[in-house]
Amino acid sequence: MQKKQTSVDELISFILEGIEEVKGNNISLLDLREIENTVCDYFIICNGTSNTHVNAIVGSIQKTVSKKLKDKPWHVEGSDNSEWILMDYVNVVVHVFQKQVREYYDIEGLWGDAKVTMIENSFK
């Protein structure tokens, strides 16, 4: 059982590394484990400044996780318009938004019972 948790921790770490590699903004980690009937254990939410930046963040996450863990997302949604791309790694779901779309949908507000950790960008 401990091995599974370590791999989730590693997955989160490498997802964050992928986001920071291309300067993703306003990174939040939502821990959903204490909330009943959730579809996953964690949300990672960040935003980019344009369609191109959002696509670069998603590409960087996929490349980093694939290289380090030999894993790929189970499902990716939203790549057509790149305003909100969802990457489903089963236990961890990544939401990459454009800033205005993130503010509109307010995922953090919808999941207000989750424990939220703001991740400081290392490039600042």
| The pLDDT of residue 113 | 93
Beta bridge partners of 95: 45, 86
| Tens digits of residue pLDDT in 11-33 | 999 999 999 999 999 999 999 99
Cα–Cα nearest to 114, from 37, 9, 31: 31
- Confidence tier at 123 by pLDDT (50, 70, 90): low
One-letter amino acid identity for 20?
A: E
> Percentage of the chain with pLDDT > 70?
93
Structural domains present in the chain: 1-117 (3.30.460.10)
- DSSP E strand boundaries for 1-124: 25-31, 42-48, 75-77, 84-88, 92-98, 115-119
Is residue 68 within 8 Å of residue 77, measured between CB atoms? no
Is residue 54 within 8 Å of residue 97, measured between CB atoms? yes
| Residue 121 in this model has a pLDDT that exceeds 80 | no
